[in-house]
Amino acid sequence: MKGSMMRLRPAAAVLAASALVLTGATTASAGGRHHHDDLGLTRHDRADLKRWGQDTWTSFVAMTDEITGLPADNIDASLDPATRSGYTSPTNIGAYLWSTISAEELGIIGKREARHRLKQTLTTLATMERHEPSGMFYNWYDEATATKLTVFPTGETIYPFLSSVDNGWMAAALMVVRTAEPSLRRQADALLEPMNFAAFYDPAANGGVPGRAGLLRGGFWADPPNAETDPGTVAGSPVYFTKNHYDITNSEPRIASYIGIARGQIPPAHYYATARTFPASCDWDWLEQRPVGVTRTYEGIEVFEGAFTYRGMHIVPTWGGDMFEELMPDLFVPESQWAPRSWGVNHPLAVRAHIEHGMEEAGYGYWGFSPASDPFGTYDVYGVDAIGMDPTGYPSDAEKTNVDAGYEGCREATNPAPTFADGVVTPHASFLALPYAPREAVDNLRNIEAVLGAYGQGGFYDSVAVRSNTHADRYLSLDQGMVLGALGNVLGGGVLHDSFGTRQVEKVLRPLIGQEEFSAGVIK
């Protein structure tokens, strides 16, 4: 090993050490291979969670076209179909599919309705234009006609794009459907099997180290866009790749990595080619703090197990410090169970960081920060900046307050202890946190509903600025899908974990990710 760091409490002690008593371990039980235990939830808690799930499903019904079975990207709080966005994406469609599975498992809809909805959507997907050489879906379609979009409803030109992460969420949903609804397995497989994630894999993005695994690209265009690109080919057909690669581990694109690896399309060593943090040298002092950690070797790759320091914890950061990057892949891959020394330590600490930031450091009285529809009329990113790598920060407030702790030995701090203002809380973040802080999550959601009133007939509004009490009175398919996905696991016997994490998938992924030990932990 290389490097040194402060001593950490062992992984098994992390939850017990937390003053917040983060109680949500994931276990195997008779209720499912990856069934959550009761999490200490009361009958009243479960009733509220079920009610919130029912109302969230109401928003999906309102967003979904009655003919195509495709959900709009978003809809106004009125749930008037006339306010549907007029566009959708592979992620949105995937969210509707897995939410339908969750809604059935929770008893919100019956088996017949669930099967009808799933079949309707799968039938439409089979007619939609795709990039045939890769089998991938384009990023934007009209939800009412299922046609590929080249112009947004606003008149803005679209250069049709194939996104690795968006196709990852679509593939995840198809993997869930094929297992959860066996009568539709053949239909789901016909859509899933052509999707080849090798199209996004760049073996040359290996840091100049011969034989080292590469990275996933952001995606590609089939036709020349108005952007700088790397021309190349997919299955012999010319394409225009993005310049960027996904080079960090703790972010939502890892769902595409998991799927590509599980399906034998991407080498397993790719998982260790991404960075836990960037190196702890002055060459990287644009980061908001200097990481600590050691170097370990997995799959023949040296990995700097870097972590950021925050309020007595070492945490492997996401790019923005948000809950979505940390926990959305965990809806499908039971990361804490399969990788107890890495994700099993980091996930509860990231949740704890969100709680401590909202309730103590910033003093908002609420917590849970993630990209969302903005209370002030746009879409924006929110997070706990101190546990994010982005130097400009995913802020937790509307004023975009940035934290900078300095980079020890290289540069001084510019804003180590800021004052925070109008915090923007995103309810879906609390649902994602349910397995790791069930008591705190339920209480937070109750207060958002009862005190802030950020709730309508379709469930929680997408975000709320807590001091001005300004709501984003919209519902987004993606965020509602995270709500129902989380409830499907917590109240529905781990339905997404079981349906995605089949024994075949587990056989590939569990030993791969289970060997790793993060530098995360509670500092002694």
Separation CA 368–CA 371 (nearest Å): 10
Q: Give the rounded distance of the alpha carbon of 349 from its chain centre.
A: 16
Q: Which helix (H) or strand (E) is 57 found in, with range? A: helix 43-63
For 375, the token pair is 């209370």
Residue 210 is predicted with a pLDDT of: 82
Residue 30 is predicted with a pLDDT of: 34
Look at the pTM and tell me if it is higher than 0.75: yes
Over residues 384-443, the pLDDT tens digits come to 999 999 998 899 999 999 999 999 999 999 999 999 999 999 999 999 999 999 999 999
Residue 24 is predicted with a pLDDT of: 43
Answer whether 368's CB lies under 8 Å from 452's CB.
no
Residue 50 is predicted with a pLDDT of: 99
Residue 207 is predicted with a pLDDT of: 84
Helix, strand, or coil here: 221?
Answer: strand
Answer whether 204's CB lies under 8 Å from 241's CB.
no
For 462, the token pair is 């997408």
Residues of the chain with pLDDT under 70: 1-37
Say which amino acid occupies 206: N
Over residues 94-149, the pLDDT tens digits come to 999 999 999 999 999 999 999 999 999 999 999 999 999 999 999 999 999 999 99
Residue 23 is predicted with a pLDDT of: 42
CA-based max dimension of the chain: 63
219: left (phi over 0), alpha (psi -120 to 50) or beta: left
For 415-428, letters b (16+ CB in 10 Å) and e give: eeebebbbbbbbbb
For 361, the token pair is 């450091």
Helix, strand, or coil here: 107?
Answer: coil
Domains of the chain, earliest start first:
15-522 (1.50.10.140)
Phi, psi of 26 (to 5 degrees): -100, 130
363: left (phi over 0), alpha (psi -120 to 50) or beta: left
Residue 211 is predicted with a pLDDT of: 83
Residue 32 is predicted with a pLDDT of: 57
Residue 33 is predicted with a pLDDT of: 60
Residue 34 is predicted with a pLDDT of: 62
Separation CA 149–CA 116 (nearest Å): 26
Residue 14 is predicted with a pLDDT of: 42
